[in-house]
Amino acid sequence: MQNNTKHKTICSYCGVGCGIIVEKDAKGVLTVEGDEDYPVNKGMLCSKGKNLNYVAQDTTDRILYPEMRWSKNHPLQRVSWDDAFKRAAAVFKSIIDKHGPDSVGFYVSGQCLTEEYYLANKLIKGFIGSNNIDTNSRLCMSSAVVGYKKALGEDSVPIAYADIELADCFLIAGANPAWCHPILFRRLEKHKEQNPNVKIIVVDPRKTQTCASADLHLQILPGTDVILFNAIARILIEKKKIDKNFIKKYTVNFEDCKTSAFQLTINAAAKKCGIKAEDIKKAALYIGNAKGFISMWTMGLNQSVIGVSKNVSLLNISLLTGHIGKPGSGPFSLTGQPNAMGGREVGGMANLLAVHKDLNNPEHRKEVSDFWGGKEIQAKPGYTATEMFNALDEGKLKAVWVICTNPAVSMPNVNKVERALKKASFVVVQDISHNSETTEFADLLLPAAGWLEKEGTMTNSERRISYLPKVIDAPGEALPDAEILWRFAQEMGYSGFNYNNASEVYDEYCLLTKDTSIDISGLSYNRLKNEGSFQWPVPHNNHPGTPRLFSDFVFNTTDTKAHFNAPAEIYNQSEEINVDYPLILNTGRVRDQWHTRTKTGKVKRLLTHIPAPYLEMNKIDAFLRKLKEGDIAVIKSRRGEVQVKVTINYDIREQVVFLPMHWGKILNNDFGRANNLTNDIVDPVSKEPDFKYCAVQVQKY
């Protein structure tokens, strides 16, 4: 009889990227525990990670074989993989011949492994000849990408988790890491317990679990972040709490930052933000006196119509104080998904090119297309996430291939997305689970292998690349996503897709990174398997990896300086609040659910924390509407409505309400689908949607 086997892998949920040891017994039963040797989590796992064995072993919801329908009026029917590839290739070829390469697109996911992301990108940009590939990461961190590029010259997270234990001041803005990045937050909590002088400032319209550890909670009005960060910058400048030497030697455009920061007095800024001027001064003092300062942020800044302005105004604070490239210091965008970073590295977005090369640069395009040996890469960016579904709705995009994501729940203004998917000539959905609402729209449904069922790599929030092994066989006829992509490319007749395994895809990608700033040509699968995870760059075979970037203060801009940026907007540009829609809806995650619940929704013990969607509302707003705890409320926006129970407290600001983003139709009959309400306007540069601010009315059902 076979003995128990142990396998080191990585959690498939959030961007923290915790190490997990999976044990498989002789009967194939799986157990999981935190990997004590893994530097990220040192044995800890949150509730979601601890229950991953149930998700992996429950195959009742899994898509087991390819299914296809000949027209929208026909039901899906089981087909062979050969027939599925033939049909997909025939339809794609016919649409491309008739309408051109920009009539097809791929919509992928920050949960794809790096090899899968790389292949999808290569396929459409290098061979189909269109840049129409975007990802649910667009909904998550594209404003941070633009912010980093503007300030540092490249999309490079400069710091490591190990810097947390070296810092003495943290500004956590628009994030609830206590629930959404739990293990990272446990490290921060422990650091504060051991060092009570450490200061934590939280910026959030809600008093979340993260605030329990805060020295200062700045409960601002939604959309006023830039005003707050500018006010902090002004105080730092006025009180001479800036690093003049750093600014002079290593930055440019200080005056732009100063001019923007001095537009409002501190009192005027405090009034706009809806907080006390004294609290802004206190925050600035904490930051100005810190030896190590880290800012952390997620969707509260990124998912905004002024997301880039919010990012650059926060980044300015790190540059003013010289807190970058030093131990315990740096601006730290926390990624939501396990491999959003890997996707950014391979250029898996409509406006990016592989290995951080520039889509606007003809030489860069030629380098990549020569390397791939396919078509010339187009200069024109492809459709971003919201543009892609708008183009489907308008008939400009005919076919879409959705991989490992559930846009029928996760996209803003989702009723429009459903309409677009119904109108599409051809929809391919490649996923693991029938629990994805998007499968309803598939003309071709392809069963993918899930976590533990395929090998590949992922990069977490601190640029740490890890290897995930195949531990169990996929159920039915499910195949690894990478294999599905290379077999489709072969069926299309494209050369350069003759892979036998994911390792060959990874080796090719590593070669492409050579001599770039994200060089991992020294990081083979063998090194990852034998020596563990590494933070990029890893440019040669003996290189130990790079925990901290910019420690020489040489940045990736053309002049090698870090750039201050005046935010394009200091005032919010979201839709109008008026008498018909007088409240501001904020959406977000709850502790034990993940994205659209296709996985966490299967685990009973994860439903004990928060079993159903709810509307969080301030007591005064509830009183005005005669709503009591547990009443059903109807929430209406200019785009749709939902009905959920109300939870009433003083933790959320007056005039603001909160709805979790996880619930969709299949498991909840559409009553709590937050994105019925949200707005699909986007930041003009990052194209990230304004999820965090939509005007609503709430009434008793």
Cis peptide before 469 (omega within 30 of 0): no
Q: Does 164 bind ligand SF4 (CB under 6 A)?
A: no
Q: Which is nearer to ligand SF4, 48 or 323 (CB)?
A: 48
Q: Does 48 bind ligand SF4 (CB under 6 A)?
A: yes
Residue 567 to residue 573: CA distance in whole angstroms: 13
- Find the shortest distance in angstroms from Cβ 143 to ligand SF4: 22
- Find the shortest distance in angstroms from Cβ 550 to ligand SF4: 26
If DSSP codes are grouped into helix, strand and coil, which group holds residue 6? strand
Q: Does 183 bind ligand SF4 (CB under 6 A)?
A: yes
Identify which of 251, 461, 240 has the alpha carbon closest to the alpha carbon of residue 345.
461
Q: Could you please report the per-residue DSSP string of 567-586?
A: -S-SS--SPPP-SSS-EEEE
Q: Which is nearer to ligand SF4, 463 or 636 (CB)?
A: 463
Which span (38-46, 339-347, 386-394, 623-631) binds ligand SF4, by CB under 6 A?
Answer: 38-46
Q: Does 452 bind ligand SF4 (CB under 6 A)?
A: no
Answer yes or no: are the C-beta atoms of 588 and 661 closer than 8 Å: yes
- Find the shortest distance in angstroms from Cβ 468 to ligand SF4: 12
3-state helix, strand, coil in the chain (%, to 5): 35, 20, 45
Q: Does 45 bind ligand SF4 (CB under 6 A)?
A: yes
Q: Does 468 bind ligand SF4 (CB under 6 A)?
A: no
Contacts of ligand SF4 in 1-30 (CB under 6 A): 11, 13-14, 16-18
DSSP count for the chain of H helices, then E strands: 23, 26
Among 30, 46, 221, 233, binds ligand SF4 (CB under 6 A): 46
CA end-to-end span of the chain: 60
Residue 421 to residue 537: CA distance in whole angstroms: 40
Q: How many residues bind ligand SF4 (CB under 6 A)?
A: 14
Residue sitting closest to ligand SF4 (CB): 49
If you count them, how many residues does the chain have? Answer: 701
Q: Does 140 bind ligand SF4 (CB under 6 A)?
A: no
Q: Which is nearer to ligand SF4, 38 or 426 (CB)?
A: 38
Which span (45-53, 150-158, 386-394, 568-576) binds ligand SF4, by CB under 6 A?
Answer: 45-53
Q: Which is nearer to ligand SF4, 212 or 379 (CB)?
A: 212
If DSSP codes are grouped into helix, strand and coil, which group holds residue 406? coil
User: Cβ atoms within 10 A of the Cβ of 129, count?
Assistant: 18
- Find the shortest distance in angstroms from Cβ 107 to ligand SF4: 23
Answer yes or no: are the C-beta atoms of 466 and 8 closer than 8 Å: no
Non-local CB neighbours of 424 within 8 Å, separated by 6+ positions: 392, 397, 398, 399, 400, 441
- Find the shortest distance in angstroms from Cβ 335 to ligand SF4: 11
Q: Does 374 bind ligand SF4 (CB under 6 A)?
A: no
If DSSP codes are grouped into helix, strand and coil, which group holds residue 650? coil
- Find the shortest distance in angstroms from Cβ 590 to ligand SF4: 13
Identify which of 156, 675, 76, 194 has the alpha carbon closest to the alpha carbon of residue 416.
675
Q: Which is nearer to ligand SF4, 141 or 622 (CB)?
A: 141
- Find the shortest distance in angstroms from Cβ 453 to ligand SF4: 18
Q: Does 182 bind ligand SF4 (CB under 6 A)?
A: yes
Q: Does 341 bind ligand SF4 (CB under 6 A)?
A: no
Strands (DSSP E) contained in 311-370 are 330-333
Which span (180-188, 373-381, 384-392, 487-495) binds ligand SF4, by CB under 6 A?
Answer: 180-188
Residue 136 to residue 502: CA distance in whole angstroms: 23
- Find the shortest distance in angstroms from Cβ 594 to ligand SF4: 7
Q: Which is nearer to ligand SF4, 15 or 331 (CB)?
A: 15
- Find the shortest distance in angstroms from Cβ 42 to ligand SF4: 11
Residue 207, judged by CB atoms within 10 A of its CB (0-12, 13-18, 19+), counts as middle
Q: Which is nearer to ligand SF4, 24 or 50 (CB)?
A: 50
Q: What residues make contact with ligand SF4 under the rule CB under 6 A?
A: 11, 13-14, 16-18, 41, 45-46, 48-49, 181-183
